[in-house]
Amino acid sequence: MTTAPEAHRPAGRPRKAVLSRERILEAAFELADTKGGDFTLAALARNLEVRPSALHHYFSGKDELIAGMRGQLTRRVGDHGFETRPWHVAIAAWARAYRATFGAHPGIIAALATMPVDDEPESIIDYERIASAMRRDGYPERRIVPAIVAIESFVIGSALDSLAPEDNLRPVNNPELAPHLTSAEERARAHAAELRTTVTMETFEFGLAALIAGLVAAA
């Protein structure tokens, strides 16, 4: 339900003419995707063919830029009907979108996961929507934030896991070390194939359902 930032840039216009918050964020994602999250604002300015000082009209520093990137990803995750559906139904759809959105930008996942969300209104509004739904559905108030963070931790870890090889726990070179693991991994792959899905996706769905069911039961 989101529009890629590229859509806002008129085709063929030179880069320098269109320096904007959106254009800077777009270049920051490109840089993080190729070089990882450790890039400097100076490197970002070079890629945009502008002086570093030009970036400071839009972002006071790297922290504010990372916050802006997080805000844009949160918008892409989107709403998933928390106002109208039970929280534990809406949050499964939210978690799927969250994993896909963050998994598309592996270079920046760690930076996004560890930065403070406090000054980033998009994320605060997103969490408020979830907290309101949980409260409405009678979830114990002191458990609301821990439950949200637990699901988020699972999603972030799964986004990283989705970047590992599909058959990552298959002991190809050392099967003699791990006969039970070898057999279990084969059964998991066969089961995913029966369901016409991937092991990665089946693992995510199985874990997500178990975690949400556990959180519902713990309330």
**CB of 10 or CB of 165, closer to a second copy:** 165
**CB of 16 or CB of 191, closer to a second copy:** 191
Q: Kindly state the smallest distance separating residue 145's Cβ from a second copy, in Å.
A: 4
**CB of 8 or CB of 140, closer to a second copy:** 140
**Would you say 60 and 181 are in contact if contact means Cβ atoms under 8 Å apart?**
no
Q: Kindly state the smallest distance separating residue 105's Cβ from a second copy, in Å.
A: 12
**CB of 75 or CB of 143, closer to a second copy:** 143
Q: Kindly state the smallest distance separating residue 208's Cβ from a second copy, in Å.
A: 8
Q: Give 19-25's long-range contacts (Cβ < 8 A, gap of 24+).
A: 19/48, 19/50, 19/54, 19/58, 20/58, 21/58, 21/68, 23/48, 24/48, 24/55, 24/58, 24/59, 24/65, 24/68, 25/65, 25/68, 25/69, 25/72
Q: Kindly state the smallest distance separating residue 21's Cβ from a second copy, in Å.
A: 19
